[in-house]
Structure 1
Amino acid sequence: MCAAIYVLSTVTGYVLTSALLLKCPGLLHRKKRETFLSRHISHRGGAGENLENTMAAFRHAVDIGTDMLELDCHLTKDGQVVVVHDANLQRVCGVDANIRDTPYAELPPYLCRLGVTFQKECFCEGGEDKRIPLLRDVFDAFPDIPINIDIKVNNDALIKKVSELVVKYDREHLTVWGNSRSQIVKKCYKENCHIPVLFSLPRVLQLLGLFYTGLLPFVPLKEQFLEIPMPSIITKLKSPNSLTRSQRLIAWLADTLLMRKALFQHLTARGIQVYIWVLNDEEDYRRAFDLGATGVMTDFPTRLKEFMDRNGISKPQ
């Protein structure tokens, strides 16, 4: 009887302590220093309004007031860091060639028309700018704009060169980098621990495990940005008949587990920003902000800006 009472009191004490620290993490952890806060994030510069990852897309997004540019990086055969999503140029340029095997001067231009990955049956028609830019071009053009860099391949030379460019342009306080793969994020952090990193996919799963077991408030976190999808958008990207019952169930379960206001509030109280991608309609914008996400990543920066203006959503002070 006494043992049962002891166990019950211990468990109760743990639960109460965990709940308190979940609400007030500052009691145990120093809040991370936030050098910038981003509400409005332009995915590949705004792939629904201009050709993705082009200087024209980045300029348009900045002109309408985006808080952050999201982009992707690869390394060419001659060691140039280029801003492009795919490792192979077939989808974006119509040429079956790998970037790693092609010198920068020989990279073909983008096609005139590209599909928008996160908008069903949507294509973007390009203007005159079809050049694949260098990362340094983006840094030169937008010295004060935070940039979110997806390191697309596990390449030590790419990680080192991106770090060198960030340092050269004095952008460690305006950059976040990483990938869904934990090996890449670990290498990024080892290469330059002064550039904030994203949670990798395994770390997101670990984060959820800590949250649902009540251990999260007790565990230190090195990452400063949680960048996650809203799983429910899969039903908008595919026709209902193409999804099996199990796929719909998995999407619902993932959405239920991941889209948690208490989790987002705890992380933001610890100085960890929460970005949700890639949202392209007002219903999802509203849900993300209502859940307490720091920012939303979109292919349509104008659409998101108009939504934020109408609803009085501004950059946090």
Structure 2
Amino acid sequence: MTLIYGHRGAKGLAPENTLASFQACLDAGVQRCELDVRLSRDHQVVVIHDADLKRLAGSKARVKNQTAAELASTDVRHAGPSWPVPCTIPALAEVMAACPFEHWQIEIKSLSRKRAVILIQAIARLCEQFGLNDKVVLTSSSHTVLRTAMQQAPHLKRGLVAEYAWLDPVKTAQRFQCSLLALNWSLCIEKRILDAQNAGLHVSAWTVNDPALMRQLVQYGVDSLITDFPGLASATLGSP
């Protein structure tokens, strides 16, 4: 059975990476989510994809220069889809407390090793606090982040996010002792999927919003799909 992960919650239905988006994913019957995290100025783990607020809030402010409280008062409906009430940037702790997902792909964006240590240690504390150690995989395209995760939180599973094939994604994932390989859907050829699975990797394809493509990737043998429309994926594949 191919599993479904809601991309940034349900990005196609509600403002991405917000509590509204994660609730929309759960309301669609999908119990797995992918989300992005960064570190605020006061070293809190906040849930946001971009390094700045331009796309989401029309502001030039950078996430790393804002406190968690400032981010929690920032309305991020600028990028759509339309939503009737303000949606703000949540702390990861808020999302973990409010959303009973059965599995989480937590993507850590590129950052310095010093900040990666702080961020990963903070995530590890939250996973312990909420009893999620066996329900989380820390994913990144950054070798610095993956290496730091190996050192700072070896008990948490890791995943490589691969958008390009110029470095062999399977070999790179093995180098960092990953259990998951999150491939851009365009990299999902049958041989690469099989090679990854033979190496013990769970293959997750992103971002898959077209029903025909969903069915094709299932035929190719991917283990999971990451989608902006979890309800559509569930209806297309017949299960969450």
CA 1:207–1:52 in 2, change beyond 3 Å: closer, same or farther? closer
Alignment RMSD, CA only? 2.5
Alignment TM-score, normalising by the size of structure 2: 0.87
1:206 and 2:161 equivalent?
no
Whole-Å separation in 1 of the counterparts to 2:203 and 2:106: 16
Q: Distance in 2 between matches of 1:43 and 1:164?
A: 24
Which residue does the alignment assign to 2:69? Answer: 105
CA positional deviation for 1:128:
1.7
Q: For 1:295-310, what aligned pairs fall within 5 Å after superposition?
A: 295-309=224-238
1:260 aligned onto 2:222: no
Matched, 1:284 2:239: no
1:168 to 2:129 alignment = yes
* One-letter amino acid matched to 1:50: A
Partner of 2:91: 134
Greater helix percent: which structure? 1
2:154 alignment counterpart: 193
CA contact (8 A) 2:161 2:183 kept: no
Correspondence 1:224 to 2:179: yes
Could you tell me which runs of 5 or more consecutive residues in structure 1 were left unpaired when the two chains were aligned: 1-36, 115-122, 211-218, 232-257
Native 8 Å contact 2:55 2:78 kept in 1 = no
Letter in 2 for 1:53: N
Partner of 1:157: 118
* Structure 1 residue 269: Cα displacement: 5.2
Q: Percent identity?
A: 26
Q: 1:296 to 1:174 in 2, by over 3 A?
A: same
* Aligned amino acid, residue 110 of structure 1: D
Per mean C-alpha deviation after superposition, the further-off stretch among 125-134 and 52-61 is 125-134
SS in 2 for 1:293: coil
Q: Which has the higher strand share?
A: 2
Cα distance per residue 1:249-283 (max 9 Å; x no partner): xxxxxxxxx43324423543554211100011112
Q: Distance in 2 between matches of 1:77 and 1:48?
A: 29
Aligned residues: 233
Hey, what's the Cα distance between the residues in 2 that align with 1:220 and 1:83? 27
Residues 178, 188 of structure 1: 8 Å contact kept: no
Structure 1 residues 202 and 124: CA distance shift in structure 2, 3 A: closer
1:65 counterpart SS class: coil
Greater radius of gyration (CA) = 1
TM-score (norm 1): 0.67
